[in-house]
Structure 1
Amino acid sequence: MINGNDDILTPLGPLDPRETAGYRLLARIGEGGMGTVYLSRTRGGQPVAFKVIRREYGQDPDFRRRFEQEVRAARRVQGYHLVPVVDHDTTGPLPWIASEFVPGLSLADALTEHGPLPPAAVHQLVGCTARALGAIHAAEVVHRDLKPANILLGSTGPYVIDFGIARAADTTQLTRSGGVVGTPQYMSPEQALGEPVTAAADVFSLGLIAAVAATGRHPYGEGGATTLAVRIANTERAAPDLGGYPEPLRSLLERTLTADPAQRITTAELAELCERAAGRPLRAFDGWLPAPLMDRIARREAGAAHPPEPAQVPGATPTEPDAGAYRSAQPTETAPPRPSTPPPGPAHPPRPTAPPPAPPARSVRPALLAGGGVLAVALTALVTWALVRPDGGTAATGGSPSGGGRTAAAAPAAPQATATATATATSKQPTYTLLFEDKPFTLRGPASSTGTHVDLDAPKLFPGGKIGQVAGMELTYQAWGDADLRFLTPMGRSGGTTPEACRAGVDTDTLPVALPAKELKTGGTLAKGTVLCTVTSERNLAMLRITDVQPHSGGGLSPDLPDYVTTLTLWKIT
């Protein structure tokens, strides 16, 4: 969504909510097929993109159930080039999801406004996106709606958004007529035919994106979204003609756009192929895009730090329809001061002076980037579906393709020496600053029906936390429904007590999103001596070391759930 030239945000209108579930909404980011996206902040000041799901989805119980399952799975995803989900709720009239805010430019907008990217940038884009998909697939999530509008271009590389949400929509009343959700011209053949999809479907979509990003031409020719989808569905009998694409792009397309999912290249292999073709490390982002795009992104990052004032209409009172049932007030207890948080937007190194732009390149046809409306089209005897998601927005930026393609201005590739030096800087490992160490922290079995919520950043326990009041929390120990210990941020087991070992545990030994009562009673997973680690909602690294497991001493509804005596250590990640 482009407002003016570089504004990523627009003021709240008189009918926009001002607060939802304890999140104060600051500005409107955009609107898409799944809902409206707002800028908000966590209690610690971290900017988040807060998406309120459309009412027709929110009123469907099938959607709510699947949305809960898929978003919890998405919250397990950890890795580079991902915009992580930090909070969500499905219990109120309107479900919502909050993800980290990246004030970048969507690939869809970049291609429409600036034209195709240089070959090195395309391979770096595809390689980084492949690594992001690898992390998504490792958490047993399939994106299912990978397209240019769901890839953000930032000064520190590309970012994948909206993973795990398209699958939730597949079970709603809007698609029960045998349809699927997705963007037709970026579907895999199996998805277009309504067949089960695997991680290989995302690889096929990424191949299509690579072709369009590099040349502005879709491998299946010209035509509307439905026409291209019919051709994609027929890939087994009529493969696309890739002869017009230059090497090494053609080899990439041949290995991603095969009809048989089992024959497609893996994400790890694709990342390696792209790094060789790019001629620089994938994580060397100094000047990775043409100068006009880098400058555009820098201006958007700067502008996003200052949200616009809400629009005022005389006599109008801002309202939040149906929000009372699920707005969560912040706890009244006074918590210790929070550690300072970095300013909004990803940090990036100073950029060198850009060389003059190259001659304009052919603009991308807007038809390749814009998704269709709500359609119910009989494609062939083999494929019929209902399309319910227009390509009209993104979860984190609200970016939507706009018409009127402008020409590209491609900057020459950076010299190899510069790329090598930059790679050393950008591949630097994170540093950890100790905030506190071995603070006694006992998590007692829940004594109320709503359970105990845990904020590891404060740190603080909320023994009577309300159902759904989990903004800024990392754990909830609950006795209602299916009693369990629930992890609201990905929690892993660590083999050591250093911050590096702790972070490795989060990434490589992630626990399920919930441990049921039966598992807790047997003590198999959370035994004495277990070291648990998580990246908190404030993006700190927390380590809980279990020093004792005791019978519950506080009575309540689940007296047989254990108490966990722990020590808590917290590092700030920079």
Structure 2
Amino acid sequence: MGGQQADRDESGVFQPLAADDPTTVAGYRLAARLGAGGMGKVYLSYTPGGRAVAIKLIRPEFGEDAEFRRRFAQEVRSAQRVQGLFTAPVIDADPDGAQPWLATAYVPGPSLADAVVAHGALPVETVLLLVAGMAEALHVIHGAGIVHRDLKPSNVLLAADGPRVIDFGIAHAADATSLTGSGVTIGTPSFMAPEQAAGRQVTAATDVFALGQVAAYASTGVPAFGEGTGHGVLYRIVHEEPDLSAVPERLTELVTRCLAKDPEARPSLSEIIGLCQAANAATVLRRPEDWLPVAVSAEITARAAAPAPPQTPPPPPTAPSVAPAGYAPTAPAAPSTPPPGYGPPPGTVAPSAPGAASVPTAPPAPAGAPSAFPYAPTQGPGSSAYAPTQGPASSAYAPTQGPGGPAYPPQQWSGRPAPTPYQPQPPRPAKKGGGRGLVVAVAAVLAFALAGGVTAYVVLKDKDGQSSSRADGRPSGKGSASTQGGGSTGGGSTPKTSQAPAPQAATFRDINLTAGYHLTLGDDEVRPQDGEDGNYELSYDTGGYLDAESSGGNLVLLDPGQEGTLEACRAETRFTQNIYVNKLSKGRQVCVTTGTGHLGLVTVKGFSPEDSPSTYLTLDLTVWRNAAPSTSTSTG
């Protein structure tokens, strides 16, 4: 599956977005339109890391068909397992959104159809390398249980290092909708197989027939069964032989065998690669950097210069991270009363944080302290250290005492012009008698430090005693530091997170959770039960997603390779209420937290096959009962 090469306008590769085009798709910001076809429109976008991707937005009419959505979701899951060198991988999709979409890696190259129309038939050596690469791609696609069904020149992209097969599986989903019979054409008659045109069973051999048609088209520039109305072409495919008179001799056996009417008579993919090697002048196929004609390679260069993604506004400038000499960075201010910028009068004592020892406040800054100055002088000339009262984006110093006058009340200071930046002055020469003043200042600092240390010791000793009491099993009391927060004012509440001890794990293996059913983790024997809406703990919704139904429950999708353990599920906070099944793959794990306090770990083991009459998810479930983290609040 994939699809960045829809029918494109001739005016250019990257079309600007039209008025009816979206600007984003599920968080992907669209940079240009790549084309449009029977299934929908294709846009250029970028991943957060800057990798170009092609977003195919499915037509709304298809999204209204429930059977299309079901098949499309199955094909997306299968396509995400296709990781071949000659395919464009599907990296993201949402088949259950309001308008289904999928994203594939962007391939900077023209389609085979565009290249032949613009530059004519390709050389034999190029066709051999093309067919061999396509055969490898089909081998991987068929290995994922997918039949392409719509292999044609516009679904083969020509990259610098080989072809890329795209749009595998989409035609199967489109077959499910009634729109295909009402003016919407999916598939190209010129490249269908006889059994496909006659409505018989489609198999991997159907793609081999299409591969032979693509080879004939690439080497001659015209379809093997001619052109004209769809009905006429389909009649010739079913009842007549192809016209291979213009096919080069070295390719005749390869094309003839692929175009056998009987699917059983067509060669296997490994035989096709062998035929390409036999037709090649060398003993083995080598893919040089210049495997394409020069004119086609030039188009790759043009497509590599994709439009840049839309720019977002630059972030606001941040404060310097390194303080100038003699300055220490200030800490962000916590909300307080009086308003920011006002501290207690000089010399008073204020708590620096709830539960911490009281410390002396800073003396007032000189008049003219800056309004947005992130650093405060650590040592004023001839005076004790300054402590900042506030962080960036507000006054580092607030004048609490005007020169020769009383403290400024907030209502008088509010609305005044911002003071001019403070410039530290050089040390003044010592005056007579200054030694005595210095001794007094030093003594005052030592006294404050001693008082603060004693206070801190008492507080910490008290808290340590309370912790010991709780460890002995006795209640800590209402006035304990753990419940009060240690503030001198008392009151308030402090959230407290606790975890239950690790219980024994109960494991239930190979659960087939059918869409429309749910699991209750508290049951002694966890088994699927009918119902998808209610106060259940985990359900597989028929909308195609796992749902945390219980009140207070949530899910977390663990990263690929992340080990699912009790500790990991307790620590994770990337909560969501539902996870679409198309986001899952074999081996992925999901943490489940229930509103009743249980923890669960879901390990995906598989999905229902395409021919199954029911849609289900096979999983292992590990349950730790009453092990979920809990948050309580104590009020003093």
Counterpart among 93, 96, 101 of residue 96 in structure 1: 101
Counterpart among 463, 467, 485 of residue 578 in structure 2: 467
Please say if 1:239 is aligned against 2:339.
no
The Cα of 1:207 is off from its aligned counterpart by 0.4
- Worse-matched range after superposition: 30-39 or 270-279: 270-279
- Worse-matched range after superposition: 117-126 or 14-23: 14-23
Distance in 1, Cα, partners of 2:57 & 2:247: 41
Given that 1:116 and 1:216 are in contact with CA atoms closer than 8 Å, whether structure 2 keeps it comes out as yes
The answer for the alignment partner of 2:556 in structure 1 is: 452
The answer for the alignment partner of 1:410 in structure 2 is: none
The alpha-carbon distance between structure 1 residues 68 and 486, as it changes in their structure 2 partners (threshold 3 A), is farther
The answer for the alignment partner of 1:223 in structure 2 is: 228
Given that 1:124 and 1:278 are in contact with CA atoms closer than 8 Å, whether structure 2 keeps it comes out as no
The answer for the alignment partner of 1:566 in structure 2 is: none
The alpha-carbon distance between structure 1 residues 458 and 102, as it changes in their structure 2 partners (threshold 3 A), is farther
The answer for the alignment partner of 1:520 in structure 2 is: 620
Distance in 2, Cα, partners of 1:243 & 1:299: 35
Could you list the runs of 5+ residues in structure 1 that have no partner in the other structure? 311-443, 491-514, 522-549, 557-574
Alignment of 1:420-459 (within 5 A): 448-449=548-549, 451-456=555-560
The Cα of 1:225 is off from its aligned counterpart by 3.6
Counterpart among 288, 300, 318 of residue 285 in structure 1: 288
- Worse-matched range after superposition: 243-252 or 262-271: 243-252
Alignment of 1:290-369 (within 5 A): 290-301=293-304, 303-304=305-306, 306=308
Counterpart among 583, 590, 595 of residue 477 in structure 1: 590
Distance in 1, Cα, partners of 2:54 & 2:189: 26
The answer for the alignment partner of 2:13 in structure 1 is: 8
Distance in 2, Cα, partners of 1:145 & 1:9: 25
SS in 1 for 2:624: coil
Given that 1:453 and 1:470 are in contact with CA atoms closer than 8 Å, whether structure 2 keeps it comes out as no
SS in 1 for 2:249: coil
Given that 2:109 and 2:300 are in contact with CA atoms closer than 8 Å, whether structure 1 keeps it comes out as yes
Counterpart among 34, 51, 56 of residue 56 in structure 2: 51
Distance in 2, Cα, partners of 1:212 & 1:304: 29
Please say if 1:552 is aligned against 2:634.
no
Q: Looking at CA atoms only, which structure, 1 or 2, has the larger radius of gyration?
A: 2
Distance in 1, Cα, partners of 2:214 & 2:121: 11
SS in 1 for 2:97: coil
The alpha-carbon distance between structure 1 residues 466 and 288, as it changes in their structure 2 partners (threshold 3 A), is farther
Could you list the runs of 5+ residues in structure 2 that have no partner in the other structure? 1-6, 313-506, 508-520, 522-536, 539-547, 594-600, 608-614, 629-636
TM-score (norm 1): 0.57
Distance in 1, Cα, partners of 2:87 & 2:42: 18
Distance in 2, Cα, partners of 1:154 & 1:252: 23
Alignment of 1:102-117 (within 5 A): 102-117=107-122
The alpha-carbon distance between structure 1 residues 121 and 462, as it changes in their structure 2 partners (threshold 3 A), is farther
- Worse-matched range after superposition: 168-177 or 194-203: 168-177
Please say if 1:156 is aligned against 2:260.
no
SS in 2 for 1:65: helix
The alpha-carbon distance between structure 1 residues 9 and 217, as it changes in their structure 2 partners (threshold 3 A), is closer
Distance in 1, Cα, partners of 2:592 & 2:75: 23
Length, aligned pairs only: 366
Alignment of 1:118-157 (within 5 A): 118-157=123-162
The alpha-carbon distance between structure 1 residues 29 and 470, as it changes in their structure 2 partners (threshold 3 A), is farther
Given that 2:16 and 2:32 are in contact with CA atoms closer than 8 Å, whether structure 1 keeps it comes out as yes
Q: Spell out, residue by residue over 1:294-343, the C-alpha distance to the aligned partner (whole angstroms, 9 max, x if none).
A: 12212221x21535899xxxxxxxxxxxxxxxxxxxxxxxxxxxxxxxxx
Distance in 2, Cα, partners of 1:25 & 1:554: 46
SS in 2 for 1:220: coil
Please say if 1:251 is aligned against 2:253.
yes
Q: What is the letter of the counterpart of residue 552 of structure 1?
A: W
The answer for the alignment partner of 2:463 in structure 1 is: none
The Cα of 1:143 is off from its aligned counterpart by 0.4
The alpha-carbon distance between structure 1 residues 106 and 245, as it changes in their structure 2 partners (threshold 3 A), is closer
Distance in 2, Cα, partners of 1:78 & 1:223: 37
Please say if 1:208 is aligned against 2:213.
yes
SS in 1 for 2:149: coil
The alpha-carbon distance between structure 1 residues 174 and 103, as it changes in their structure 2 partners (threshold 3 A), is same
The alpha-carbon distance between structure 1 residues 282 and 453, as it changes in their structure 2 partners (threshold 3 A), is farther
Q: What is the letter of the counterpart of residue 241 of structure 2?
A: A
The alpha-carbon distance between structure 1 residues 294 and 244, as it changes in their structure 2 partners (threshold 3 A), is closer
Distance in 1, Cα, partners of 2:49 & 2:28: 12
The answer for the alignment partner of 1:547 in structure 2 is: none
Q: What is the letter of the counterpart of residue 271 of structure 1?
A: I
The answer to which structure, 1 or 2, has the higher relative contact order (CA under 8 A, 6+ apart) is: 1
Percent identity, aligned pairs only?
Answer: 43
Q: Spell out, residue by residue over 1:111-155, the C-alpha distance to the aligned partner (whole angstroms, 9 max, x if none).
A: 100000001101111110011011101111000001000000011
SS in 2 for 1:62: helix
Given that 2:220 and 2:246 are in contact with CA atoms closer than 8 Å, whether structure 1 keeps it comes out as no
The alpha-carbon distance between structure 1 residues 308 and 21, as it changes in their structure 2 partners (threshold 3 A), is closer
The alpha-carbon distance between structure 1 residues 471 and 260, as it changes in their structure 2 partners (threshold 3 A), is closer
Distance in 2, Cα, partners of 1:308 & 1:293: 29
The alpha-carbon distance between structure 1 residues 101 and 517, as it changes in their structure 2 partners (threshold 3 A), is closer
Distance in 2, Cα, partners of 1:486 & 1:24: 31
Given that 1:127 and 1:274 are in contact with CA atoms closer than 8 Å, whether structure 2 keeps it comes out as yes
The Cα of 1:85 is off from its aligned counterpart by 0.7
